[in-house]
Structure 1
Amino acid sequence: MAKKKLGLEDLGGFVFSTNNDFDETEYQDTEQTETLAPKKQYLEAHFSNKGRGGKIVTIIKGFEGLEEDLIRLGKQLKKKCGVGGSVKDNEIIIQGNHRDKIMEILKKDGYNVKRVGG
């Protein structure tokens, strides 16, 4: 997961400087990280039922790239499994225990996937 640079808005938008040549654009996050190619991605397929009222979910962690690409991958997995889910906190959450099917789909698309947990 790429670390985000702090911008002026993270400081509350107020900056005081005695430097006449101060350039605030130097400190703004204008560069977005690119999405790594599937061969360079190392994803983890987790199984969980904690904090969800006992409901089982499959969680995909470790995606590195733009949020739009993560959302697109999440939609693709939900559609191929025929279930619902969401994308939160840089994780894809798929309803139900579809870990083996999701791992197969991701490997076919060229991702490196590792099974984590029971």
Structure 2
Amino acid sequence: MSRGKKLDLFIGAEIEDGWAKIETPRKSVVADEILEPSKHFLVFKKEKRRGKTVTLVGEFHIPQNDSEELLKTLKKKLGCGGTLKEGWMEFQGELKDKLRALLTEEGFRFKSGH
């Protein structure tokens, strides 16, 4: 292949040829209902992002403004950064024990083993 020439490959079929996209239904149902803190069963997850530890806790089923207010108070008490994404709160650092104590004070419960 010489320099400067483009290679044009066409492999595959087009949707118009009778192919159809198959969509499978979700196995789990996402609940959009609002629950009181004592009815939550929260879990912890730990992830590494760019070499740093991030603690995730969730999934919260409370109104958006309440969850943002809770996140703000938790970040202030813990002295760390964090954000709220899709019902999960993300905190910078490994804070599982401290978070568990603060959230149980607020009335939240955790799944056994978490």
Q: TM-score, normalised by structure 1?
A: 0.63
- 2:73 paired with 1:76: yes
Q: C-alpha displacement at 1:64, in angstroms?
A: 0.7
Segments ≥4 residues shifted beyond 3 Å: none
Q: Which is greater in Rg?
A: 2
1:54-78 per-residue CA deviation (whole Å, 9 max, x = no partner) reads 1101101111121111111111211
Gaps of 5+ in 1: 4-32
CA contact (8 A) 1:46 1:58 kept: yes
Aligned length: 84
Q: C-alpha displacement at 1:48, in angstroms?
A: 1.4
- Whichever residue aligns with residue 84 of structure 2, its letter is V
Q: C-alpha displacement at 1:2, in angstroms?
A: 2.6
Q: TM-score, normalised by structure 2?
A: 0.65
Q: C-alpha displacement at 1:87, in angstroms?
A: 0.8
Give the corresponding residue for 1:48.
Answer: 47
CA contact (8 A) 1:38 1:109 kept: yes
Gaps of 5+ in 2: 1-29
The Cα RMSD (Å) is: 1.7
Q: C-alpha displacement at 1:94, in angstroms?
A: 0.5
CA contact (8 A) 1:45 1:103 kept: no
Q: C-alpha displacement at 1:111, in angstroms?
A: 0.6
